[in-house]
């Protein structure tokens, strides 16, 4: 099957509430990575929607500086979507309506984070165990007037999968779209996704359902769509390793090399963030993108030792300038 054939039956625009997305290939919110520059890169390469890093409603309430940095955006961003984490319906509603989020078109509610301290505090995937509170949070966020989406999992444990049931709770509360990670909370980030559970959820609701989990190639994405009947796919960690996956999936023409992409990322990050943040982010992104490049391991220590942007530019050139895209 040719790439064009795959695209013809797979990639299309999709509506989320009152917002039209250019494609149904989404980039997941990833802590430490989906800052404004990376989101702009993913959009340029064909992604239809990218989310901010997970942003705590409680931290926002206290005007935490590090949290405010997660919300950097500009009018150039095609669609502005924030991912909000919280377990209190009144706090979530207040933050959804607040000036902090006034520039965002979409609020995504995190109901999938499996991390123990998040789970114990009744946030993230813990909300799947409390459908009443989950529904109250969705209704409260909807009162902001923005489109509201939910990211969840197929269940908490392997012996209790309830994606369809939870999908109905979300739709009834007013969610405009649902992204389902095919793994349970206990699986964390490993193991084969339960595609049949995503398919059950898709059959149970009329809002768009996006499939997430275990997508590390175009073939994986095509298989996920075929097995689940989902309305789109969400790429996560593989988008960092190979940002070109978005152009490969959507047919968006990109003639830039990895070196040029990283150079542009560095410039854009330095324009909006301080040097410490820029160094940290660019080291992590470069490290992901050099994973499959032969002969680059010897530069890794030098990459992480770089103490200035000039030094970092030099190392990025050594790793990427003469290699393939």
Count of C-beta atoms within a 10 Å radius of residue 217: 13
Identify the helix (H) or strand (E) that includes residue 314: helix 309-320
Three-state DSSP state, 113? coil
Q: CA–CA separation, 154 vs 193, rounded Å?
A: 9
Burial of residue 51 (number of CB atoms within 10 Å: 0-12, 13-18, 19+): buried
**Burial class (CB within 10 angstroms; exposed 0-12, middle 13-18, buried 19+) of 44:** middle
Q: Are 124 and 85 in contact (CB under 8 A)?
A: yes
Quote the Cα angle for 199-155-49, to 5°.
Answer: 60
Residue 170: active-site member:
no
Helices 36-44/275-289 angle, 10° precision? 40
How far is residue 312's CA from residue 296's CA, in Å, rounded to a whole number? 15
Catalytic residue selected from 35, 113, 152, 170: 113
Q: Which helix (H) or strand (E) holds 171?
A: helix 163-173
**What does the block give as tokens for 67?**
């949290």
How far is 302 from 34, CA to CA, in rounded Å? 24
CA angle, residues 102, 105, 106, in degrees to nearest 5: 110
Active site (catalytic) residues: 113
């Amino acid at each position: 099957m040719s790439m064009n054939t795959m695209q013809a039956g797979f990639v299309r625009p999709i509506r989320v509430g009152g917002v039209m997305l250019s494609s149904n290939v989404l980039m997941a919110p990833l802590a430490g990575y989906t800052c404004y520059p990376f989101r702009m890169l993913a959009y340029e390469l064909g992604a239809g929607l990218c989310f901010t890093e997970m942003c705590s409603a409680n931290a926002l309430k206290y005007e935490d500086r590090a949290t405010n940095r997660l919300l950097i955006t500009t009018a150039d961003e095609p669609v502005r979507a924030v991912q909000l984490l919280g377990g209190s319906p009144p706090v979530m509603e207040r933050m959804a309506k607040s000036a902090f989020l006034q520039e965002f078109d979409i609020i995504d509610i995190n109901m999938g984070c499996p991390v123990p301290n998040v789970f114990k505090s009744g946030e993230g995937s813990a909300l799947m165990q409390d459908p009443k509170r989950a529904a109250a949070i969705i209704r409260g966020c909807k009162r902001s007037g923005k489109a509201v989406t939910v990211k969840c999992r197929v269940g908490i444990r392997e012996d209790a999968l309830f994606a369809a049931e939870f999908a109905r709770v979300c739709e009834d509360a007013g969610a405009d779209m649902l992204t389902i990670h095919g793994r349970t909370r206990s699986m964390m980030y490993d193991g084969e996704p339960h595609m049949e559970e995503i398919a059950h959820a898709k059959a149970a609701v009329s809002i768009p359902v996006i499939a997430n989990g275990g997508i590390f190639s175009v073939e994986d994405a095509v298989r996920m769509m075929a097995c689940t009947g989902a309305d789109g796919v969400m790429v996560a960690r593989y988008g960092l390793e190979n940002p070109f996956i978005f152009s490969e999936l959507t047919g968006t023409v990109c003639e830039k090399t990895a070196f040029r992409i990283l150079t542009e990322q560095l410039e854009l990050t330095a324009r909006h963030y301080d040097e410490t943040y820029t160094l940290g982010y660019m080291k992590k992104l470069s490290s992901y993108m050099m994973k499959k490049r032969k002969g680059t391991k010897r530069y890794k220590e030098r990459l992480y030792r770089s103490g200035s942007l000039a030094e970092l530019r030099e190392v990025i050139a050594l790793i990427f300038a003469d290699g393939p895209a």
